[in-house]
Amino acid sequence: MVISSALLLLVLSQNPLTMAARPFSFTGIDAALGAAWEDRFLTRIASPELKVTSSRDIEQVLGLERQRQLLGCDAASSSCLAELAGALGVELLLSASIVKSESGYLATVRVLGTRTGRPLATNSERVGTEAALLDWLDATALALRRQLVGELPTPPVVRWIPAFAGGAMWVGSTICLAVSGQRFQSLTGSVLPLGDIAGIRQEGELLAGLGIGLAVGGAVAVLSSVVWAALGRPAAPQAVEAVGLLTPAGGFLGVRGSFP
């Protein structure tokens, strides 16, 4: 796969990228089968950051005859490419050809920049079987998408799942602290056996420790969502020790979290 520096500038300057696909060229292959391969390739290369306009979409916009004229552009037809870019509002032009012979298949995929008419990416491969061809087309579509726009981003709603969990922890913290307060309140103004007093006090302290731990854990979860949303996807998860508490009963209460 050959990628020029112009592609990097194009990715940085435009979001999302727009691409028009010429009708794929098939030789020695049934037209219906070729159309199915083309649809699969375009489906796999498309993403929210890369809008792909198929040849059928172009026909609806430009009409069949004008589509044939414009999609016949080659790298030397800079004026034609400029007209295509203006008519469709696209920055990239995808073309592919697959030829079947007695020895197997020869497949080529190219991406041109409509502003310059120069190849931004190209890949060609010879394979022996139809199954190998389909695997190559799938791999090429995904590789092109990664090179054009990078990996698919995490859906924004997913980044706020820790915040939802943090909110639930805060609710649990409030309940624990409220029940703990009730336990301590029950010790005042009443005469209880010493054994009951010790038990109620231990239960209140345990609930208070749990409530504090849930509150801190909820804060870490909410903070992780904020950082995730602000910075996107970090290179690797980073563990954060949030709190470690010794309970009056001699136990240890710890909360450990990580930024997604």
CATH of domain 2-149: 3.40.50.10070
The reported pLDDT for the residue numbered 148 is 82
- Residue 245's contacts (CB-CB under 8 Å, 6 or more residues apart) are 209, 212, 213, 252, 253, 254
The DSSP bridge partners found for residue 2 are 122
Domain boundaries, the chain: 2-149, 156-259
Asked if residue 22 lies in contact with residue 109, where contact means CB atoms within 8 angstroms, the answer is no
pLDDT in tens, the chain (260 residues): 444 444 444 444 445 788 888 889 899 999 999 999 999 999 999 888 888 888 777 766 666 556 555 555 554 455 565 566 666 777 888 889 999 999 999 999 988 887 777 788 889 999 999 999 999 999 999 998 888 876 545 556 667 788 888 888 889 889 988 888 888 777 776 666 766 677 777 888 888 888 898 888 888 888 887 887 776 543 333 333 334 444 444 444 444 444 44
The pLDDT assigned to 1 comes to 43
The pLDDT score that the predictor gives to residue 90 is 79
Q: In angstroms, what CA-CA distances link 37 with 139, 179, 181, 241?
A: 13, 63, 67, 50
